Structure 1
């Protein structure tokens, strides 16, 4: 029996996140009970711009408790981050080959207000898997277990410092490649907007 792949829920995860999913043929389990770790891809993604990488960070509601489960993290709408993120995405990718093809799929995430960060991530993940034509059974963790021997555990592997889960083996054309060179480890939308239906072949 194939082991489950245990993953954190990220904001528009990078290409290597989907490489891990695509190359793992079994089911996926999303961790929802871990204490929310700061400065990770759980609230940030990176896109490619004319000036290199740009971090887009979702603000969250900070409570009185230091340790809050990921499933209980709420999104903060005190500032217009949705409008700013969407403007940044438009600026970065409006000249890419497939931005207009996918634009209507992603715009709702910058119009609708999700209460919980995890709900936002899960709905995005479902969309991204559908666009990439990757079919996987997805479940949610039932409790937090620090060390799991029966599953492939990538919860702590993909961080802004470690960059990726798997190396990006297949560079692809990027909008600003002539200026910045190929920039690896960007959000999966960088691959989708540049390669469209061919994106899966780069995983």
Structure 2
């Protein structure tokens, strides 16, 4: 059985779910450090004006003379600015006319009503909810220690990097006629546009 190692993003880009849909053992990284410019606290969706970034605000550690790395699993969310309401309204605005938004709305909306203290806990629930929506039953576990160069396992943790440009096959998107196809958006873009066909699409990529 093929084993892979992935990071835990905010929902995650389509390129990561491409690696998750085949029968395999999945290890989800829990012990890494938090890094900026990654999908750990941001997603890209397709809005009426094109590609739109939604970011989860986090509480940063106090600045010190010595750079301190913060463990991802310990990063706390800054809930003062009511980001969940903003993100859900943005998702509804972008996808309420898509073929399958209403089909998954009741499963996803509770994620934006429950207050989470840590980014890790929220992202964990996002992953598990999307897997349920996709009806993908994975054998996965969370890591207990950080291994920079794991052996005998396919390391896909680099897919957490939001700066990477990855070209993927096209599918029909809500605002495609306005701005063209936008590749490798958040998995929700594929889910809302392709619905139950999303897994079959991922497996052919």
> TM-score normalized by structure 1?
0.92
Structure 1 position 80 matched with structure 2 position 79: no
Please state how far the C-alpha of 1:66 moved relative to its aligned partner. 2.8
Partner of 2:108: 106
Please identify runs of 4+ aligned residues in structure 1 that moved more than 4 A: none
Partner of 2:161: 159
Partner of 2:168: 168
Partner of 1:187: 186
> For 1:118 and 1:163, how far apart are their aligned partners in 2?
25
Please state how far the C-alpha of 1:157 moved relative to its aligned partner. 3.6
> For 1:51 and 1:131, how far apart are their aligned partners in 2?
27
Q: How many equivalent pairs are there?
A: 198
> For 1:150 and 1:69, how far apart are their aligned partners in 2?
25
> For 1:43 and 1:34, how far apart are their aligned partners in 2?
14
Please state how far the C-alpha of 1:132 moved relative to its aligned partner. 1.0
Please state how far the C-alpha of 1:156 moved relative to its aligned partner. 2.1
> For 1:132 and 1:55, how far apart are their aligned partners in 2?
23
Partner of 1:29: 27
Partner of 2:198: 199
> TM-score normalized by structure 2?
0.92
> What value does the CA root-mean-square deviation take over the aligned residues?
1.4
Structure 1 position 56 matched with structure 2 position 54: yes
SS state of the match for residue 156, structure 1? Answer: helix
5+ residue gaps, structure 1 = none
> For 1:163 and 1:43, how far apart are their aligned partners in 2?
18
5+ residue gaps, structure 2 = none
